[in-house]
Chains A and B, each alone.
Chain A
Amino acid sequence: MKIGMFMMRYPPSRKSPIMPEVVRLLVEWGVTVDPIYPDEQLTDLAHIHVEHDLYVLKSGADLALSLAGALHAAGAQIVNPYPVAAIMRDKIIATRVLQAARLPVPSTYVTNHLEELAPLLDEGPLVIKPYRGSQGRGVHVVWDSDELNNVRANQDLIFAQRYYKPEDRDLKIYCIGGQVYGVKRVWPAQTYEEKLGEPFVVTPELHQIALRCGQAFGIEVYGLDVIVNDGKFYVVDISSFPGFKGVPDAALRLADYIYSVGQRVISGQPLLPAFEKERFV
């Protein structure tokens, strides 16, 4: 089995042991794994061909996403599939997909003009996020219209959601092939230990929400950010192939999952099982 893995190299100061361990396990199991670091090399587009049984799109960088798209167009099998990974990079589309699936997301607004958010602040605070952002970067909570002037939007497009103050730490829900794991984490997590957070036992309601999110997009490897306010859950973000920090035995579980998907693919079965209900992508 040959797997091409789109990865991102992090500075040594950033501890990220899970994916290297996944690669090590897959290699130990006889898989040929070719890590691909698009950001570190010159790629001749004419030379893009499907050379692997399976690709894993771990990197969220734009170039990795585009190259995965080119491979997708050429017929590559990718975890997660390019169209879904691309949609999840755009919070506007992703949120709309979640809404359409009747999943609990905060009221969400988009505009090109910050001042248009002012009337909405009469009903409570908003959280403004870069619509293609990740890892909490560039997130502002705005309580009144004066604060809108302090928001340094790096782009014209403004993505805002009704802000619900979490009653507890952030809940990270990680899903691998239909399995659901919960990790509580402070926000924003700064240290590695904070990013590891603490596993928690997921409630049936949250379990159901997590699985429905996967069904809505038609994928099996993803993460949700959920907050609890007034006893209600709100899905405030969803990401394709997150870091899985804090999931017990994460590397072993991911390697086992990727291996099983690879086996499915090389035996001619579909990359993913059929998502019969609630698929919106």
Chain B
Amino acid sequence: MKAIILGAGHIGCGLAGQLLRASGYQVVFITHTPVLADHFNRVGCYQVHLVNGSEARKIVVDGICAVSADDLDRVAAEIAAADLIVTSVGAGNLSAAAELIASGLSLRSRPANILAFENLPLAGARLREHVAQHVPQNFPLADYGFSTALVSRAVTQRLGDPALDEPLTFIGDPPDAFVVDRLSLRQPLPSIEGMILSDDFDAWVCRKLYIFSAGHATCAYLGYLKGYHYIHAAILDPEIRAAVLAAMAEGQRGLSACYGAEIAGDESDLEELVARFENSALNDPIARVGRDPWRKLSADDRLIGAAHLAEEAGVHPEHLALAAAAAFYFDDPADPSSADLQYEVKFFGVASALNRICKLDSSQGLGCRVANAWRQFANGWHRGNVLLKLDRMIWACCFQPENGARRTEIVPQSNDYQSLFLAKTVY
């Protein structure tokens, strides 16, 4: 059996490649990075290092080769000969990947399944749409299966230099499981280690997005405001830990009401997720997890989507709203999405940004909650300033508020630590 993986990045190598090899597939990577293709063909293997707080497992993934994405004929031939096609190219590159896939599908004599290991819930459906644009109208695309592969594992690092002959190492956490949509696939279904075939795929998507991803994002955005560099450090801050658990619990209650308690899980599941955030071996920077806040603030994404679901269940999503408000302050010069977000807020105001990005009305309901939390942060926010106390919005330094927010006067009252920070808001 042969599997083609388009994309030789973290998830492509650190999860898909490893599991496919373990399931008996010969694996061929398609990559746009010539030095990486040369490396894999020269060395023939890489390592996956799975680590958590207490254990580490090193897996050698051998029997691999690679083809440069520029070699279009060879790519088409490999796709035509494959038993399974996998993408792991990043959500923004699906269209380009679809063009390559279509060129190979046109040469095939039989249908196949295509799994999109992308951090995008509708990746399978999107990929089908993109491929449809590149195949003849009478092509039997309906005979092909397209599904998102919803992964649990985080693969955060690649160590090693592809210019050298030492195998590269991908660092990730242990979970092997990934969920695919049975109803979107075609017979014969692939058999892959770790694969869960679900008839209720939307529920699994919501579970990952509105619990795990919501908690991860909450940790990143509050951690950013409190001045931490790494997720494993931020989650040790008691205030952040409590907020992350509370935000995930809000999402979980919404999920439970919508899909049932079995999908939503319980408190112990949340503690397990927090333990994954503590995994320092992943070396996960807050800048990576918080990246692309514009997308992560969109109406159906991890924070706002989870908050909507919670509201539908009668839960007040205070912590999800707080995390969303914090996301509006995420300002990483290396992240164009955060720059666009800052520009949007600065020049059009938070109400406009809430409406445009989150599809929320800042004068009512969830929009009002997020806007109020945003205004509280605005009292102390300044690039480089550090939020010391989340519960009382105490900042290390006081600056004139930006973005037209209310101004706060810091009025030391006594020798008492708490009242030393007593803040009086003036209008």
Contacts and interface: CB of A to CB of B under 8 A. Distances in A.
A248 B388 contact: yes
Contacts of A182: 396-397
Contact of B417 (A28, A179, A198): A198
A29 B280 CA distance: 5
Contact of A202 (B229, B233, B280, B397): B397
A137 to B, nearest CB: 26
A247 to B, nearest CB: 9
Given A25-B236, A30-B280, A248-B389, A200 B420 contact: yes
A249 B400 CA distance: 25
B236 A204 contact: no
Contacts of B281: 30
Contacts of A29: 232-233, 280
A211 B384 CA distance: 10
Interface in B226-269: 227-230, 232-233, 236-237
Interface in B278-312: 280-281, 283
B39 to A, nearest CB: 19
Interface in B393-413: 394-400, 410, 412
Interface stretch (A224-232, A235-243, A251-259): A251-259
Contacts of B237: 249, 252
B233 A252 contact: yes
Nearest to A260: B229
Contact of B229 (A198, A248, A257): A257
24 contacts: A28-B280, A29-B232, A29-B280, A30-B281, A179-B386, A179-B396, A180-B397, A181-B386, A181-B388, A182-B397, A201-B395, A201-B397, A206-B397, A207-B399, A211-B384, A252-B228, A252-B237, A255-B233, A256-B229, A256-B230, A257-B229, A259-B230, A260-B229, A263-B283
Contacts of A256: 228-230, 233
A180 B230 contact: no
B415 interface: yes
Nearest to B398: A201
A259 B398 contact: no
Given A256-B233, A263-B283, A203 B384 contact: no
A178 interface: yes
B421 interface: yes
A259 B233 contact: yes
Interface string B203-242: 0000000000000000000000001111011001100000
Contacts of B280: 28-30
A204 to B, nearest CB: 5
A199 interface: yes
Interface in A137-195: 178-182
Given A201-B397, A248-B388, A249-B237, 16 more contacts: A29-B232, A178-B384, A180-B397, A181-B386, A182-B396, A198-B415, A199-B417, A199-B420, A201-B421, A202-B397, A207-B399, A252-B237, A256-B230, A259-B233, A260-B230, A263-B283
A179 B227 contact: yes
Contacts of A180: 384, 386, 396-397
A266 B232 CA distance: 19
A201 B394 contact: yes
A192 to B, nearest CB: 15
Contacts of B229: 256-257, 259-260
A79 to B, nearest CB: 14
Residue from A25, A182, A201, A202 whose CB has the most chain B CB atoms within 10 Å = A201
B398 A204 contact: yes
Contacts of B397: 180, 182, 201-204, 206-207
A253 B417 contact: no
A260 B280 CA distance: 12
Contacts of B410: 201
B402 to A, nearest CB: 12
Contacts of B230: 256, 259-260
A203 B397 CA distance: 6
A259 B232 CA distance: 11
A203 B421 CA distance: 13
Interface string A243-279: 0000011001101110110010000000000000000
A76 B410 CA distance: 43
Interface string A14-51: 00000000000100111000000000000000000000
Q: Give the residue among B386, B400, B415 with the most A Cβ atoms within 10 A.
A: B386
Nearest to B223: A256
Nearest to B227: A179
B131 to A, nearest CB: 38
A198 B280 CA distance: 32
**Top 9 A-B pairs, shortest CB-CB distance:** A29-B280, A256-B233, A202-B397, A260-B229, A201-B410, A207-B397, A179-B386, A201-B398, A248-B388
A226 to B, nearest CB: 14
Contacts of A249: 237
Contacts of A259: 229-230, 233
B233 A204 contact: no
B233 A179 contact: no
Contacts of A201: 394-398, 410, 421
Contacts of A252: 228, 233, 236-237
A206 B232 CA distance: 31
Nearest to B410: A201
Nearest to A182: B396
Contact of A203 (B233, B386, B388, B398): B398
B289 to A, nearest CB: 15
Nearest to A26: B280
A179 B394 CA distance: 14
B227 A202 contact: no
Nearest to B389: A248
